[in-house]
Structure 1
Amino acid sequence: MTHPSRRTLLGSTAGLLALTAGCIADNDDDDDDPDPGSGSGDDDESENGGDNGNGDENGAENGDEDEDGETGNGDEDDGDDGTGTDGVSIDDHQYQRSAVSEEPSMEHLRSADDAEDWLAERDDVDDDTTEFVDETDFDESVLVALEGGGPNLCYELAVERAELEDDTVVVEAAVVDESTPETACADQEVTVGAVVRATFDDDPVTDVSVSLTDRHGKEHGMAAASDSATDSASDSAETDA
């Protein structure tokens, strides 16, 4: 019996090891290959995602169109100026001064001269009040000034209603206590007032009707017509405060 030489055995062993290593490498390569099925799914999902993206874009465009339509309608509905009547805007300015008024007063200021005289009699009003009156254009505005007495610095003259009604500027106001239980109010007699201005797009309405409730709950009224030389004022029956 012939025994293989040592050289032959070594060569056989080396060949076997090389063959085994090649098989292991092939198996590893197979495990690292991506699953063809998974790859198709990723492609499909990407394509579907693109379709959904287009859908969202179209939805956003449709939403913008709807929103623009609603905004346009809202702007048209809000065409009036907040007074409830087209063509007129009404605003007011409140003030307080140290001079004491014996009786509530209501005045229809018809011109710049009237406004100048009114301010001259009230040299203790603040600059904001003076500016509000001075900036009034009497060619297009109606100005009404109201005053009443208050027992302390926490009182003010509140404009409760100011609007155009049947071609008449209607104003309702009252002397009110604005203090709270936490407020410390100095006992000092003061005059509280408000100036109401109605500004028109066209020729101003010059008829006014004013109602003023004083600190005691008594109501005072004034009516001024466009053809009257002077304003007429009358007191109504006293009401509960």
Structure 2
Amino acid sequence: MTHPSRRTLLGSTAGLLALTAGCIADEDDDDPDPGSGSGNNSGDENGNGDENSTENGEEDENDNGEDDGDGNGDDDDDGNTGSDDVSIDDHQYQRPAVSDKPSMEHLRSSDDVEDWLADRDDIDDDTTEFVDETDFDESVLVALEAGGPNLCYELAVERAEVEDDTVVVEAAAVDESTPETACGEQEVTVGAVVRATFDDDPVTDVSVALTDRDGKEHGMATASDSASDSASDSTGSDADSNN
């Protein structure tokens, strides 16, 4: 039997080691270490990529764009209309005296108020206080009255506003009773006073429409402090419209 020499064994061992090293190198090339990848993954993990750019962009737009623009726009548009320059109050009352027909008066001064109250010695204190506290340097006062067949009637102010530099008032004598209400059968006068108070000089024109208990419409218009009041009557088509 022939035994290999020492030189032969060393050469075979060296060849085997070289072959093994080549296989290991091939495996490393095919399966790279995921922990040593490119900078793209590290950029996403650290939050320095698209996520930060989008987030910062949206916050800047909302904080410095839409919010500021909308808020300033609304503030500039509000509070500059004519309707904000006047406040309108009304007060209803009832008194036992019976009026022959509906009345509409534009009270222009404290003297007018004194005369109006002198003709109504049965009016309540709340109504007296309401008209007495009117400042005619800044206010317009309108007084309306109509008859009612029972104690459940009142003069309802259906419209009170300033339109085209005119104080417009619409009112109607209405029955406020319900099937469960027991109304005293007594003729009364129902009334309302309407006051428009202006931030600047008050307007001088007044237009009033009043519907009585029978559905008949009455109107009044005043054009200036020195003009005479003009009144008109018209018969309503529906006598039950005041219910």
Which category describes the TM-score, using the shorter chain as reference length? Answer: 0.5 to 0.7
The aligned residue for residue 195 of structure 1 is 193
How much is the aligned-residue C-alpha RMSD, in angstroms? 2.5
- Contact (CA 8 Å) 1:172, 1:210: kept in 2 or not? yes
The aligned residue for residue 103 of structure 2 is 105
| Whole-angstrom distance in 2 between the partners of 1:159 and 1:140 | 22
- Contact (CA 8 Å) 1:151, 1:187: kept in 2 or not? yes
Q: Select 1:90's aligned residue among 88, 91, 100.
A: 88
1:72/1:153 CA distance change after superposition, 3 Å: farther
| Cα shift readout 1:45-99 (whole Å, capped 9, x = no counterpart) | xxxxxxxxxxxxxxxxxxxxxx9x9999988877489xx7121111100000000
Secondary structure at 1:99's aligned position in 2? coil
1:71/1:228 CA distance change after superposition, 3 Å: same
- Contact (CA 8 Å) 1:207, 1:226: kept in 2 or not? yes
| Whole-angstrom distance in 1 between the partners of 2:204 and 2:216 | 26
Deviation at 1:236, TM superposition (A): 1.9
| Whole-angstrom distance in 1 between the partners of 2:80 and 2:191 | 28
The aligned residue for residue 224 of structure 1 is 222
Where in structure 1 are there 5+ consecutive unaligned residues? 1-66
| Whole-angstrom distance in 2 between the partners of 1:171 and 1:141 | 15
Matched to 1:86, the amino acid is D
Secondary structure at 1:129's aligned position in 2? helix
TM-score by length of 1: 0.66
Where in structure 2 are there 5+ consecutive unaligned residues? 1-66
1:88/1:100 CA distance change after superposition, 3 Å: same
Q: Select 2:124's aligned residue among 120, 123, 126.
A: 126
The aligned residue for residue 12 of structure 1 is none
Matched to 1:90, the amino acid is I
The aligned residue for residue 211 of structure 2 is 213
| Whole-angstrom distance in 1 between the partners of 2:73 and 2:120 | 47
- Contact (CA 8 Å) 1:223, 1:231: kept in 2 or not? yes
The aligned residue for residue 137 of structure 1 is 135
Deviation at 1:232, TM superposition (A): 1.1
- Count matched residues: 176
- Contact (CA 8 Å) 2:108, 2:225: kept in 1 or not? no
Matched to 2:213, the amino acid is R
TM-score by length of 2: 0.66
Instruction: Tell me whether 1:238 sits opposite 2:236 in the alignment.
Output: yes
Matched to 2:112, the amino acid is D
| Cα shift readout 1:184-216 (whole Å, capped 9, x = no counterpart) | 001000000000000011111010000000000
Deviation at 1:229, TM superposition (A): 3.4
Matched to 2:105, the amino acid is E
Paired residues for 1:1-241 under 5 Å: 79=79, 85-240=83-238, 241=241
Matched to 1:132, the amino acid is F
